């Protein structure tokens, strides 16, 4: 499973990074979340929680 952030939807709230900092990082300049470790979902098991808690449903797991 690989996480994808829809940058059009992302509001840069930082929730995904709080929940799953090994996989998501909010770029301070862009104000958008970026996937820093696409392989990290299985390893860290936190992507589902990040996806469920994104307030604008910008995260999908493929
Ligand atoms: S939780 Fe959603 S809106 Fe917030 S930074 Fe992450 S992807 Fe963006």
* Ranges of each domain in the chain: 3-61
What is residue 57's predicted lDDT score, i.e. its pLDDT? Answer: 98
Q: Measuring from atom 1 of ligand 1, which residue has the nearest CA?
A: 54
User: Digits of tens for pLDDT over the chain (62 positions)?
Assistant: 899 999 999 999 999 999 999 999 999 999 999 999 999 999 999 999 999 999 999 999 99
Q: Measuring from atom 4 of ligand 1, which residue has the nearest CA?
A: 13
- Tell me the longest C-alpha to C-alpha distance in the chain: 29
Distance 37 CA to ligand 1 centre (A): 16
The CATH class, in words, for 3-61 is alpha beta
Distance CA 31, CA 10 (A): 8
Q: Measuring from atom 2 of ligand 1, which residue has the nearest CA?
A: 54
Q: What angle do CA 54, 10, 6 make, to 5 degrees?
A: 95
What is residue 35's predicted lDDT score, i.e. its pLDDT? Answer: 98
Distance 40 CA to ligand 1 centre (A): 17
């Amino acid at each position: 499973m690989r996480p994808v952030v829809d940058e059009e939807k992302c509001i840069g709230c930082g929730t995904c990074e709080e929940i799953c900092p090994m996989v998501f990082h909010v770029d301070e300049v862009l104000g958008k979340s970026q996937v820093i470790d696409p392989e990290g979902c299985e390893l860290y098991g936190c992507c589902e929680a990040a996806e469920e808690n994104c307030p604008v449903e910008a995260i999908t797991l493929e």
